[in-house]
Amino acid sequence: MQTKTENGTKRDLNRENILKIAREIFSKYGYKKTTLDDIANAVRKGKSSLYYYFASKEDLFQAVIMKEVEILARELEIVINRNTDPVDKLRDYILTKLATFRNLANFYHAIENDVTAVEFIEEVKRRYEQDEIRMIKRILIEGVRKNEFEIYDFNLAAIGITTAIKGLEMPLSAGNYGSVNLERSVDIILKIMCYGIIKK
């Protein structure tokens, strides 16, 4: 018998392959227009075989998105661990997140017509919120330690900032991408927040 780990690896490899291909197809056609047969053909398996790896189409799609989200998370982790000025860090964090999120939304045609996809992505955002708050908190704590911020309740502050970021995301989700100058909006909000935060 294979050891369980070896076995798991083999299976996971297949899974990964399906995910990779499914990602391409979903990103090309969106959730609704992509059929499991499309994916099955592309991975050269029968449709039924997909169910050996994933419980449902929805499940597969979520797995694909989750993988994307992990990439985003990793990028953000890097930003956070860079040794930069806390304000810059905040700025980079927000910009990185917005940029990647825009891609996500674009990718899955979440916006135009595909209601189901939108809901998934909303769901992901919701689940991610707690992580976000934690990350922001880390930045704030670091800022205080470096004697640049002056904050009494980290939790509340982090929640407040998270909310502000949501505001920045809105125009993205709403679909008028190009029209908004992201960087500019971010700087404006940052300025406002800073004058309430930075030690005088």
Partner DNA sequence: TAATTTTTCGACTAAAAAAGCCGAAATAAA
Partner DNA sequence: TTTATTTCGGCTTTTTTAGTCGAAAAATTA
Q: Does 57 bind DNA (CB under 7 A)?
A: yes
Q: Which of 20, 56, 122, 156 binds DNA (CB under 7 A)?
A: 56
Mutual orientation of helices 57-81 and 115-145 as an angle, nearest 10°? 20
| Closer Cβ to a copy of itself, 41 or 96, answer by number | 41
3-state secondary structure 29-81: HHHHHCCHHHHHHHHCCCHHHHHHHCCCHHHHHHHHHHHHHHHHHHHHHHHHH
Q: Does 154 bind DNA (CB under 7 A)?
A: no
Nearest distance in Å: CB 178, a copy of itself: 19
Among the listed ranges 33-41, 121-129, 160-168, 186-194, the one in contact with a copy of itself (CB under 8 A) is 33-41
Nearest distance in Å: CB 33, a copy of itself: 5
CA distance 86 to 106: 30
> Could you say which of a copy of itself, DNA, none residue 7 binds, taking C-beta under 5 to 8 angstroms by partner kind?
DNA
Q: Does 6 bind DNA (CB under 7 A)?
A: yes
Q: Does 10 bind DNA (CB under 7 A)?
A: yes
> Could you say which of DNA, a copy of itself, none residue 47 binds, taking C-beta under 5 to 8 angstroms by partner kind?
DNA
CA distance 21 to 43: 7
**How many residues are there in the chain?**
200
Residue 139: count of CB within 10 angstroms of its CB: 20
